């Protein structure tokens, strides 16, 4: 896939459904009683991995494209799968499903692709083991394949060393099956989709500052879920609209949950022309986002805002190359354990395009204002890296080539088509 300098992006785009919300709707629907009807489900490879795992455990799931219907088996109705569960590239599938599997009356092996088999799983193995789970890393390296044998679980109060919604959600899901209250305290609040959706499904879950608390459940009940557009996918069009001259883009129906909306705050701090229109609240808050080309200035991004924009940081880092002055990203060491080491990969690729960017322990420092030129970009099969450099390639001299470009199928299968449609000819 190749990209050249673009003279402007104009028009409207509707972003596919939120990945985090789509995963959860299938998982919670599978362990609920009754039917869960999911609208605007993300048909990305990651969410399809979740569907396939639950189908293997005897859950009937109809996938009609935009709408997915889950015929739930109830909290105790999952069946032992015949084979190893394949989570593909999806960290969310692997970690959240582990919380559920820890309490079943069977044993199962979970694995995934080469990237998933390198990602840290100790972060869920430790708290789940504290709850009484039998969860082992097959090669004893803290990574998948994981072998999980269901056990009786106990409630715990876990002080998580990382702000991670995947860790928090795995513990909360195990907490549904525990013999008492389960609490998770995080250094900063991570995305709260599990808490919001579990509550709609009938669980007793509440939040106190940075602590989520759940009570054991008798049963969950199937719901209708409207999945908002994914702000992490919208991020590429937000950035593109701001940094490509002569652009004006209206991005429809984007989820703006306050635990996810950090990119909007950062854009405003950078001086962006960005407006939220048509705000609604239907389970999750949504808005249409209007962006216009802007003169940006550098900013400092760190602390509590980091979990609210963690997946957007690659695009924000590239956007900072087009801002005046210095942008500092700190407290973002979690980037190193995503689908790729996103600090190293961003620094390497932005440097190859002529940017002034420095790697730090927990982030990067970008000195904006240098014109960028084309390069061959190795996406490392990381979907967010591929999309970041498609947008960056539209602002650089020459022809930028993205290797492994098809990995966008993980979270946004129609991305290149949507980007091309907005290009003014
Ligand atoms: C996710 C949580 C985040 C995020 C990931 C999706 C989720 O990961 O990066 O893309 O759906 O819970 P961490 O929980 O590891 O921070």
pLDDT tens by residue, 279-292: 999 889 999 999 99
- Ligand 1: distance of its center to the CA of 166 in Å? 5
- Ligand 1: distance of its center to the CA of 92 in Å? 6
pLDDT confidence band for 263 (50 / 70 / 90): very high
pLDDT at residue 309 is higher than 90: yes
Interval 347-377: pLDDT, tens? 999 999 999 999 999 999 999 999 999 999 9
20 lines ligand 1 (CB under 6 A): yes
Atom nearest to 337 CA in ligand 1: 15
Interval 219-230: pLDDT, tens? 999 999 999 999
Interval 75-110: pLDDT, tens? 999 999 999 999 999 999 999 999 999 999 999 999
400 lines ligand 1 (CB under 6 A): no
pLDDT confidence band for 66 (50 / 70 / 90): confident
- This prediction has a pTM of 0.98
pLDDT (0 to 100) of residue 283: 84
Interval 159-169: pLDDT, tens? 999 999 999 99
Work out the mean pLDDT of the chain and round it to a whole number. 97
pLDDT at residue 302 is higher than 90: yes
On whether the CB atoms of residues 138 and 109 are closer than 8 A, the answer is yes
pLDDT at residue 269 is higher than 90: yes
pLDDT (0 to 100) of residue 402: 98
Cα dihedral 326, 327, 332, 337 sign: negative
312 lines ligand 1 (CB under 6 A): no
Nearest CA to ligand 1 atom 15: 164
pLDDT (0 to 100) of residue 425: 60
Atom nearest to 310 CA in ligand 1: 9
186 lines ligand 1 (CB under 6 A): no
165 lines ligand 1 (CB under 6 A): yes
pLDDT (0 to 100) of residue 424: 78
235 lines ligand 1 (CB under 6 A): no
Residue range 253-270: mean pLDDT, rounded = 98
- Ligand 1: distance of its center to the CA of 113 in Å? 17
Q: Which residues are catalytic?
A: 311
Question: Hey, what are 37's tokens?
Answer: 């009807």
Spatial separation of the C-alpha atoms in residues 120 and 143, rounded to whole Å = 5
pLDDT at residue 261 is higher than 80: yes
Interval 311-342: pLDDT, tens? 999 999 999 999 999 999 999 999 999 999 99
């Amino acid at each position: 896939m190749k990209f050249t300098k673009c003279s402007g992006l104009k028009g409207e785009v509707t972003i596919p459904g939120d990945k985090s919300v789509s995963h959860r709707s299938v998982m919670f629907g599978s362990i609920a009683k009754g039917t869960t009807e999911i609208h605007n489900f993300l048909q990305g490879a990651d969410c399809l991995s979740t569907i396939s795992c639950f189908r293997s455990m005897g859950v009937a799931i109809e996938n009609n494209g935009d709408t997915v219907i889950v015929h739930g088996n109830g909290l105790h109705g999952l069946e032992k799968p015949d084979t190893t569960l394949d989570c593909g590239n999806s960290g969310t599938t692997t970690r959240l499903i582990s919380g559920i599997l820890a309490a079943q009356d069977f044993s199962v092996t979970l694995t995934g692709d080469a990237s998933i088999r390198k990602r840290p799983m100790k972060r869920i193995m430790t708290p789940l083991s504290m709850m009484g789970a039998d969860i082992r890393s097959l090669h004893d390296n803290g990574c998948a394949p994981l072998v999980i044998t269901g056990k009786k679980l106990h409630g715990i109060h876990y002080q998580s060393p990382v702000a991670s919604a995947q860790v928090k959600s795995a513990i909360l899901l195990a907490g549904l099956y525990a013999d008492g209250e389960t609490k998770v305290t995080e250094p900063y609040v991570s995305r709260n989709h599990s808490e919001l959706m579990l509550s709609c499904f009938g669980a007793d879950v509440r939040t106190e500052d940075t602590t989520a608390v759940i009570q054991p459940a008798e049963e969950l009940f199937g719901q209708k879920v409207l999945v908002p557009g994914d702000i992490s996918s919208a991020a590429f069009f937000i950035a593109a609209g701001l940094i490509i001259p002569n652009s004006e883009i209206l991005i429809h129906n984007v989820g703006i949950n306050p635990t996810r909306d950090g990119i909007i705050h950062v854009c405003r701090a950078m001086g962006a022309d960005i407006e939220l229109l048509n705000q609604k609240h239907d389970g999750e808050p949504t808005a249409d986002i209007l962006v216009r080309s802007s003169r940006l200035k550098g900013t400092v991004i760190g602390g509590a805002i980091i979990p609210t924009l963690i997946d957007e940081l690659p695009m924000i880092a590239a956007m900072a190359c087009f801002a005046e002055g210095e942008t500092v990203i700190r407290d973002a060491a979690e980037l190193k354990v995503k689908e790729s080491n996103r600090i190293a990969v961003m620094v390497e690729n932005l440097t190859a395009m002529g940017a002034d960017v420095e790697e730090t322990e927990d982030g990067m420092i970008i000195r904006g204002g240098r014109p960028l030129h084309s390069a061959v970009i190795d996406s490392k099969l990381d979907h967010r890296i591929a999309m970041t450099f498609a947008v960056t390639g539209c602002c650089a001299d020459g022809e930028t080539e993205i290797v492994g470009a098809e990995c966008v199928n993980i979270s946004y299968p129609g991305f290149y088509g949507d980007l091309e449609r907005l290009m003014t000819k």
